[in-house]
Amino acid sequence: MAVAAALLANAVPALAAPAASPTRTVTALNSCGYDVAGASVNLRSGPGTRHASLGHLHRADSITVDKKTGGWYRVTTDGRSRSGIPAGTTGWVAERYLKPSVCMQLDN
């Protein structure tokens, strides 16, 4: 019986341990949203200065942020921007030109 078990063990190749997946740091987005920090900020077609400008965002413009890639945030305009970018336009803004909104809790 021991001989049969040894033969069977040698006949079945050993299963390799699964390769470890690379560690990835995921940055959570601010739950209260973001505001435009610059007076006039380029909304770009992709995450980087090599991408075309779609227009300018201003401090008063309302945006929604849904993704971060490197130092760039993907944003969508909530309404028509002061410079005329249509509502619902999606583009990218450099991180340094956005600031996290502050949440407030009002007690009833």
- Write down the pLDDT at residue 108: 67
Is 90 exceeded by the pLDDT of residue 81? yes
pLDDT, tens digit, for every residue of 40-60?
A: 999 999 999 999 999 999 998
What is the spatial distance between Cα 67 and Cα 73, in angstroms, rounded to a whole number?
A: 6
Residue with the bigger pLDDT between 36 and 15: it is 36
Is 60 exceeded by the pLDDT of residue 84? yes
Tell me the domains of the chain and their CATH numbers: 30-100 (2.30.30.40)
What is the spatial distance between Cα 86 and Cα 15, in angstroms, rounded to a whole number?
A: 56
Q: How far is CA 31 from CA 7, 22, 83, in A?
A: 60, 27, 27
Residue with the bigger pLDDT between 70 and 29: it is 70
Give the predicted TM-score (pTM) of the model: 0.69
pLDDT, tens digit, for every residue of 9-28?
A: 555 444 444 555 444 444 57
Give the largest Cα separation in the chain, rounded.
84
Coil/strand/helix, residue 9: helix
Tokens for 47, please give them.
Answer: 């995450």
